Chains A and B, each alone.
Chain A
Amino acid sequence: MRYALLIHELPGAYDGFDDAQRTAITAEYTALRDDERVLSGERLQPVSTATTVRAGGLLTDGPFADTKEVFGGFFLVEAPDLDSALELAGRVPAVRLGGSVEVRPLAEPAR
């Protein structure tokens, strides 16, 4: 099955980290990206760069107001079952840095 691992980060989770620590975390993400189950993965620019569109052509700066966690990126994975996807999700550094990973199966087109 294909799953999306939707990575939500705690804003400011990286504050106070020095370059070495940031590099180590990036290396963890790279290692995940290299797992054979991972099909693709992307990291988003910070939420300060976001623009949100709503009905009526209304644009707002940033995403929804007052979110505790912000969407920071995703992995698309092919895993035999949920436990396998959960195992990968548990290794995403955002989890131990106060964020979370939502694991969602993809809607597969009817064959």
Chain B
Amino acid sequence: MNLAANPELENQPLLRIENLRLESASAALVEDISLEVARGEMVGLLGESGCGKTITALSVLGLLPAHAVRRTNGRILFEGQDISGLDEKALNLVRGNRISMIFQEPMTSLNPIMTIGSQIGEALEVHRNLSRSERMREIARVLDLVGLPSSPEQLRKYPFELSGGQRQRVMIAMALACEPALLMADEPTTALDVTIQAQILELIGAMRKRFGMACILVTHDLGVVAETCDRAVVMYAGRIAEQGSVDTLFSEPIHRYTEALIGTIPAANEPGTELPAITGTVPPPGERPAGCAFAGRCAHALERCADNPPPAVRRGEHVGYCWNPAT
């Protein structure tokens, strides 16, 4: 399973999503998603609710509800291997081991009737062949890593005995137990206070340094992406609107949606002034126009925008899909 050892694969991206299309029974949910994540890289996946961020992240781990969502096109290559068609058994060798995920709500994603020691130990039990005492040592080490006390009393605690920030640390400890190559973090700090958010983001950064972990950070918070990520991918109505390095994407956005999102942030405006607003809402799946899905809300839309798919505007690695680019 350890493909990382193969020198031929060293230069390949860690994760490569190619032309991914996911459909529900009635409509396409995400279309033509292509993105890459290099080893050790941190990529922010941005967009409003209903843009398809979470479902894209879930598809990487094969966590889509099988009866409701089908993959009708595209591949997901992880360490050179197509993992999109793997069965549960094969996926289980990857999940929690090479790729881990943390979720927004640490209360509902932890098992309320399992001690945190056994929850963290679960991944190690499944993926590593350790004796009980070795496993206990590993659990203590991981807890230490995420800045929680690793005393035996701590291991016997239940999730309800912990604060929100502590629970998120337990989630991260579970995800990191096997030192994954890729961490999928879906709004990991959205439910937390800014002070605790700063701690958690610093922790994820430290783990990247420590064992070269890559991370996909799903969030709607542009500031978090600007401060922590190397690259950003902006999604809108199930498609990628723009992607590029954080520096260029925020300073010279191509897509009018990206530009508008940055403009609406209160901190980007003089206090007390009227905020630039994006009117309307994201068109739901099944109601997306043939052209640019943002056209209906765009202040700079041209006549052709609604009916014709926007062309790719490329500046090196930075690419946006817009008829009337912002910069």
Q: Do A and B come from one complex?
A: no
A-side interface residues toward B, CB under 8 Å? none
